[in-house]
Amino acid sequence: MQNRYDDQEAQKYIDTYPDFPPEMGLRVYTSRLIGQEDDLVLHGGGNTSAKATITTLLGDEMEVIYVKGSGWDLGAIEPAGLPGLDLSYLRRLRQIDSLSDEEMVNQFRTHLLDASSPNPSIETLVHAFLPHCFIDHTHADAIVTLTNQPEAEKLLHKALGDKIGILPFIMPGFPLARAVIELVEQQPEMECLILRNHGIFTFADDAKTAYSHMIDYVSRAENFIAAKIKKKPLPIAADVAQPDTDSILPLLRGALTLQESATYQRTFHLHLRTSAEILSHINRPDAKELYGGGVLTPDHVIRTKNYPLLLDFTNLDKEAACKKYIQQAIDTYTQNYSAYFSQQVTSKAVERTQLDSLPRVILIKGLGIITVGKTVKEATICADICEHTLRAKTAAASVGKYAELEQAFIFDMEYWSLEQAKLGRAKPAPLEGKIALVTGGGGAIAVGIGRQLLAAGARVFLADIDEARLKVVTDTLAGEYGAMVRSLCMDVTNEDAVQQAFSQLIKESGGLDILVANAGIAHVDRLENLSSAAMQKVLAVNLTGTFQIIKAAIPIFRHQGHGGHIIVNSSKNVFAPGAAFGAYSASKAGAHQLGKIAALELAEIGVRVNMINADAIFDDGQVSSGLWDVVGPDRMKSRNLDPQGLKEYYRQRNLLKTEVVADHVGNGVVFFASNQTPTTGATLPIDGGIMAAFPR
């Protein structure tokens, strides 16, 4: 691992924060250096601190400690992520006999320099009790690879030398802080402290030395492991055929559904990650033995649960057999998890609320890592941790034997009282964990549908044949919602293209909950002038296209087995057609009827199908309606109106004298998709009230 410290860079950081003592600039600098190394810290793991003297408003000198706050990543830390605390006071806490975690956090909060700071790290007292000015702490992969071994002490001394201290696993908090300072006082020449099954602390009175010790000791561990791997290479993975993701992933996603209450069903996002390296691990014949054990460091358990689930579809070729196998595997996993929970609460005589029993990491032979998250971010973080875990456990097998931490400690972390206190506080967004696909994704209405689905918590895939228009809409929404918005190129008139896009959707998300049939084109011609080719084209997109995507979605809904929604963006024209608009009105009427048929056929698998009949929507911000680009000029010409005049004309023709916008359609979609009423086969007019278009 490379030492990236640069004296000039360090000085720049000191100059960047003139309102703080120089220690803050240096602390930000080396924290970021540490944070950019994935092999040192991942997603909020690890923490750092610096001590300094400041002058208070009253002119008194005060010793302070700046320590990483919760919710901040070292790689992007700012002074706001390093809350300052009264150091002299914190040090005096060493005298007391015991301190509960709740009271410890209260002591931190009441001794902050800035009342608006985030909570300081739970390891703050370790940092405060140590005398050194700069302290760096990580859960480095190479270090935990050595600590999670039956013969860890011997290996650690061989790899790292004599200027190290080693502590057994102790739950972070007051007892750990006391144990650390006692050991450091016994061994004053210590440069680095190793916590078994947890990580490494390095310290010094200057930022450069503390950081350099971290890089140096982790490098020693890495080199030691590399030499062991050379000496004892592991057997090579077998070639395993990839199972059929089109069916496996929706089956899996369905088996991972939680009925949280009579009215709320939680579904999860699946994240598939694969690479030659990942397959080289999980395709090994001894994969279960190597990777079936617990986490590298206990703070991973919050993200990944302690154990992964390993699946192997090699000898299952029938879908029914796969389904049964998945269900049995999930049942066994959840039973084991519940047994672990009951056993721990009984033996510790504590009361805790059980978390859901579902796995978060699933390793599938021939395919890769599947992670499970309530949000896309959760699933992605979980996959990052899993990749490092596979690598470390593989290395551990060359070094010796991977030894997991006892479940009693894992439980303390997973069911830590401060984490438990957070449970149930945040109400999930109505569509959290849901996956939506919106066709016609490059148009104005898709902006409104996408925006409202995203605001309700769903992940949205926008599909369109016109990639340039699709990119504009995707970029518009991604500005606010990032990875929750994805795009798919799809020609709804082409069965193969539809199938390919759906396969892609499944690979990226695991399944589908809400299908919005929104692709549509217009054509203006009276029947006597309407060419057969134009008629066919409009029918192909508006009617056959709707048919193709509904047909492609049905197997996914069926595999998942947890219901779903189809919403057909039909048209006010279905009930109130217009002259010279025959191709459009007839095709939309056909799609509308198809929606009703789908409602009849899919009720038995819990899929609801509803229609939205909207009146003209011209644009959304910078995105025009492709349909109105075609229709608008004709309508303006026939009514002798300019674009503004045309909008006003449509507003004046409805009962409520209102303009219909894309977000209104989005609201309608969210209404249906959030199961607020037991409704299927219905039509919701979104037109300001037009009597001729009243459903009947």
Our CB check for Zn ion shows the closer of 156 and 477 to be 156
Burial class (CB in 10 A: 0-12, 13-18, 19+), 183: middle
Where does this chain touch Zn ion (CB under 5 A) — which range of 60-68, 193-201, 362-370, 647-655? 193-201
CB 368 within 8 A of CB 274: yes
- To the nearest 10°, report the CA torsion of 63, 67, 69, 74: 150
Q: Report the DSSP pairing between strands 134-138 and 47-55.
A: antiparallel
Cα 469 from chain centre: 27
Closest approach, Cβ 359 to Zn ion, in A, equals 24
User: In the beta sheet, which residues pair with residue 195?
Assistant: 167, 199
**E-assigned strands of 386-481?**
435-439, 459-464
Q: Residues 562-583, buried b or exposed e (16+ Cβ, 10 A)?
A: bbbbbbbbbbbbbbbbeebbbb
Spatial distance between the Cα atoms of 685 and 104, rounded to a whole number of angstroms = 57
Our CB check for Zn ion shows the closer of 199 and 359 to be 199
Q: How many residues does the chain have?
A: 696
Closest approach, Cβ 218 to Zn ion, in A, equals 14
Our CB check for Zn ion shows the closer of 84 and 199 to be 199
Spatial distance between the Cα atoms of 108 and 84, rounded to a whole number of angstroms = 10
Determine how many CB atoms are found less than 10 A away from the CB of residue 345: 15
Site string for Zn ion, 632-651 (x = CB under 5 A): --------------------
Site string for Zn ion, 199-238 (x = CB under 5 A): x---------------------------------------
Cβ within 8 Å of residue 342, ≥6 positions away: none
Considering only residues 411 to 450 of the shown chain, the ones binding Zn ion according to CB under 5 A are none
Our CB check for Zn ion shows the closer of 68 and 559 to be 68
Our CB check for Zn ion shows the closer of 376 and 413 to be 413
Spatial distance between the Cα atoms of 38 and 177, rounded to a whole number of angstroms = 26
Q: Report the DSSP pairing between strands 47-55 and 61-67.
A: antiparallel
Where does this chain touch Zn ion (CB under 5 A) — which range of 194-202, 361-369, 387-395, 546-554? 194-202
Our CB check for Zn ion shows the closer of 121 and 439 to be 121
Closest approach, Cβ 35 to Zn ion, in A, equals 14
**Closest C-alpha to 562, from 510, 516, 499, 614:** 510
Our CB check for Zn ion shows the closer of 199 and 511 to be 199
Our CB check for Zn ion shows the closer of 356 and 419 to be 419
CB 531 within 8 A of CB 575: no
Our CB check for Zn ion shows the closer of 199 and 545 to be 199
Closest approach, Cβ 155 to Zn ion, in A, equals 20
DSSP string, 653-689: TSTT-----HHHHHHHHHHHHTT-S---S-EEEESS-
Where does this chain touch Zn ion (CB under 5 A) — which range of 191-199, 256-264, 556-564, 671-679? 191-199
Our CB check for Zn ion shows the closer of 121 and 375 to be 121
Phi, psi of 48 (to 5 degrees): -140, 165
CB 437 within 8 A of CB 514: yes
User: In the beta sheet, which residues pair with residue 672?
Assistant: none
Count of residues in contact with Zn ion, rule CB under 5 A: 1
Considering only residues 603 to 632 of the shown chain, the ones binding Zn ion according to CB under 5 A are none
Q: Report the DSSP pairing between strands 269-273 and 368-373.
A: antiparallel
Our CB check for Zn ion shows the closer of 135 and 586 to be 135
How far from 531 is each of 524, 526, 583, 590, 637, CA to CA, in Å? Answer: 11, 10, 10, 19, 22
Our CB check for Zn ion shows the closer of 199 and 366 to be 199
Closest approach, Cβ 132 to Zn ion, in A, equals 17
Closest approach, Cβ 139 to Zn ion, in A, equals 6
3-class DSSP state of 638: helix
Where does this chain touch Zn ion (CB under 5 A) — which range of 23-31, 195-203, 496-504, 638-646? 195-203
Our CB check for Zn ion shows the closer of 199 and 294 to be 199
Closest approach, Cβ 126 to Zn ion, in A, equals 9
3-class DSSP state of 181: helix
Closest approach, Cβ 415 to Zn ion, in A, equals 18
Residue 55 token pair: 């002058």
Burial class (CB in 10 A: 0-12, 13-18, 19+), 692: exposed
CB 485 within 8 A of CB 474: yes
Determine how many CB atoms are found less than 10 A away from the CB of residue 591: 27
Closest approach, Cβ 137 to Zn ion, in A, equals 6
The H-or-E segment that residue 66 falls in is strand 61-67
Type of residue at 301: V
Number of H helices, E strands in the chain: 26, 22
Cα 236 from chain centre: 32
Closest approach, Cβ 148 to Zn ion, in A, equals 14
CB 403 within 8 A of CB 151: no
Q: Which residue is nearest to Zn ion (CB)?
A: 199
Q: Report the DSSP pairing between strands 459-464 and 485-489.
A: parallel
Cβ within 8 Å of residue 242, ≥6 positions away: 366, 367
Closest approach, Cβ 45 to Zn ion, in A, equals 7
Our CB check for Zn ion shows the closer of 123 and 508 to be 123
Can you give the binding site for Zn ion, defined by CB under 5 A?
199
